[in-house]
Amino acid sequence: MTVLANARPGKTNAQPDRLVQQLVDIFLAEKFAPLPIVNTNVSPNSYDALTGRYDFGIQGVILTISRRGTHLFAQRAGAPDDELFPMSDTEFFRNWADKSPS
């Protein structure tokens, strides 16, 4: 599967990497392992300890982790935020399947 994108920055919210993931979810979902299961035993109160800005030291790549109520989000500079779901107190995943095109 190939998605070509040669018009950056292009249309607002046009993100080829997300389009690819959506196509994979639609056409190849049965070939991949299912997403991890959300651990409902993890208290959202523990999210505060995870919030902040994380600098990866790669050309200014900074990831901001924030809490909004009982939800945890990750956002790279200039990108939309992604909700993070707990697998444990220290492991989280993002659910690309829930993203719909804008």
Give 87-100 pLDDT, tens digit per residue.
Answer: 998 899 987 555 44
Strand partners of residue 94: 84
**pTM across the whole model:** 0.61
Please say if the pLDDT value at position 13 is more than 80.
no
The per-residue pLDDT for 100 is 43
Which residue has tokens 């190939």? 2
| Two tokens, residue 78 | 């200039």
User: Could you give phi then psi for residue 64, rounded to 5 degrees?
Assistant: -105, 125
Alpha-carbon distance 22 to 101, whole Å?
Answer: 9
Please say if the pLDDT value at position 10 is more than 80.
no
- At residue 48, the 3 state secondary structure works out as helix
Contacting residues for 12 by C-beta, under 8 A, at least 6 apart: 102
Please say if the pLDDT value at position 102 is more than 70.
no
Tell how strand 71-76 and strand 52-55 pair up.
unpaired
**What average pLDDT does the segment 7-20 reach?**
68
Query: How confident is the model over 33-84, as pLDDT tens digits?
Result: 776 788 999 999 999 999 999 998 777 788 999 999 999 999 987 788 899 9
Q: Say how far residue 54 (Cα) sits from the centre of its chain.
A: 15
